Amino acid sequence: MSIPISLATISKMIDHSLLHPTMTDAQIAAGCELARKYDVATACVKPYSIPLAKDILRGSDVGICAVVAFPHGNSSTYVKIAEVEDALFAGATEIDVVVNIGKVIGGDWSYVSEEIRLINDIVVGASALLKVIFENDFLEDSHIIRLCEICSLHEVAFVKTSTGYGFVKQENGAYSYKGATDHHLALMRKHCAPEVQIKAAGGVRTLDDVLRVRGLGVSRIGATATEAIIQEAKQRGYQ
């Protein structure tokens, strides 16, 4: 028996993304106000914006998601841990951390696994949630499967497809990315433990996108088009 999807269900799937490098404090504040207005899951912010988000979201049911080693994942484990601890101290309730992509592609799985374990232990110890960003556009299916297995082993709360900034150089010299593809989402759901949730980020821009990825087992999305998605849901009669 399927459970009817409500407006609240849709809203609480959304991490409202405020991560573009050009965003000013005024724009981030406006984004946090929008996140509060629509009662989404979290406002997803850069680490320095946590105090601003905390002030605006105080008293609401909207969490604060901070990104770490964003968008390329190249910081040392020591620096990632320091950034995680600083974000948690500042008030983040969820952490989205990017894996060391070069280590993944190079097959240094012991490094990758130990880094995820250390970070997850800290996040869980602070009663927060960790999402591990794979950046699937750079990876082969075999890499994604192994990452799912590692995150399941360490009981990570979420695995996440993309940063939204993982641009891959094409043969014509242009840079582009696919983000959350149906193939990758199905692959992640298949190879993660049932209790590990999936976050889709990159290319989820409409209500139909949200409903489609939900059908693939996604429980959270990263979105900049939050207002358009919610307004479309209202127009379709979701309550």
Alpha helices in 22-158 (DSSP H): 25-37, 50-57, 77-90, 101-106, 109-125, 141-153
Identify whether 96 is a catalytic site residue: yes
Are residues 138 and 168 in contact, defined by beta-carbon separation less than 8 angstroms? yes
Question: How many Cβ atoms are within 10 Å of 7's Cβ, its own excluded?
Answer: 16
Give the separation between CA 209 and CA 214, rounded to whole angstroms: 8
Helix (H), strand (E) at residue 210: helix 207-215
Distance CA(36)–CA(103), nearest Å, equals 38
112 within 8 A of 104, measured Cβ to Cβ = yes
Catalytic residue among 96, 137, 209, 234: 96
Query: In whole angstroms, what is the distance from residue 225 CA to residue 229 CA?
Result: 6
Whether 45 contacts 64, CB under 8 Å: yes
199 is catalytic: yes
- Which one of 15, 80, 131, 160 is the catalytic residue? 160
Question: Which positions are annotated as active-site residues?
Answer: 96, 160, 199
